[in-house]
Structure 1
């Protein structure tokens, strides 16, 4: 995943598990010249929303071991690191692929779970996790982002 590699890079390079915002922006925009300072700020926000970084008092802490990411020689992140990631849509896609059915069928089944089993008192991300468990579709890597979506919803 390019976002994970991009987030891991400055922490691996500096051998630290916490960096200030200005250090990260400097690394991305001026040191590596991967993006503008505005894009670096967007990247940090996206990494936070994805559960990869936590920010407290202007200091960003990485929430995974950066040593687990291999940074290829000559790596340069693409524009996909700035695109919003929809974990709900990704899980629908995984279930669709595993069952070899159209997305509309998965969405319909999700709505049926919400309506029939929970009387409308369940949010879509939770219903999708239930369907993923039912069909043996892996969802664990999306867990933190789905929980964050549930808290917002």
Structure 2
């Protein structure tokens, strides 16, 4: 399940792109009953680490257009969204969020990696860019891991 959707839901519910971190935690843990308060705080840390949120004092600010993220009424995030993910996993999710089938993306990324003799992260970034997916921040992360 999508970390971006889980992060967007509280902002969309309130019609804002900035809120107090404690309000965000309450929205995820009490209002939606998706996570415990500790897990919701962990989600903030993971989303901040992946560039989806910025901290500004006691507030958190979405770094993406939350209104463009579809959050179906029956959406419930899996607990895996609160785990830190590799650059490859982050890029793959970004590509899949655009409608590309995950299995197809993985196969194409693996093919690029093999053909170009590059890391899986570099192949994923190249594939995403060829698909028109903006992964500039993740590309910098991939570069730093080289």
TM-score of Structure 1 vs Structure 2, range by shorter chain: 0.7 to 0.9
Structure 2 distance, partners of 1:129, 1:18, is 34
The aligned counterpart of 1:66 is 66
In the other structure, the counterpart of 1:109 is 117
Partner of 2:87 in structure 1?
Answer: 87
User: Residue 16 of structure 1 corresponds to which residue in structure 2?
Assistant: 16
Judge which range, 43-52 or 71-80, deviates more. Answer: 71-80
Could you tell me which residue of structure 2 aligns to residue 32 of structure 1? Answer: 32
Whether the 8 Å CA contact 1:29–1:40 is kept in 2: the answer is: yes
- Kept after mapping to 1: 8 A contact 2:39/2:82: yes
Q: Are residues 1:132 and 2:140 paired?
A: no
Q: What is the match of residue 144 of structure 1?
A: 137
Deviations 1:96-142 (A, max 9, x none): 62266496x36x8127xxxxxxxxxxxx95xx269827xx7447443
Single out whichever of 140-149 and 47-56 deviates more from structure 2. 140-149
The structure that has the greater radius of gyration is 1
TM-score with structure 2 setting the length: 0.72
Q: Do the aligned residues in 2 keep the contact of 1:88 with 1:146 (CA within 8 Å)?
A: no
SS at match of 2:117: helix
How well do the aligned residues superpose, as a CA RMSD in angstroms? 3.4
Q: Is the alpha carbon distance of 1:42 and 1:150 closer, same or farther for their aligned partners in structure 2, counting shifts above 3 Å?
A: farther
Q: TM-score, normalised by structure 1?
A: 0.69
Q: Is the 8 A contact 1:51 1:63 kept in 2?
A: yes
Please say which of residues 92-101 and 1-10 is displaced more in the overlay: 92-101
Contact between 2:53 and 2:63, CA under 8 Å: does it hold in 1? Answer: yes
Change (3 A) 1:94 1:39: same
Aligned residues: 135
Do the aligned residues in 1 keep the contact of 2:125 with 2:138 (CA within 8 Å)? no
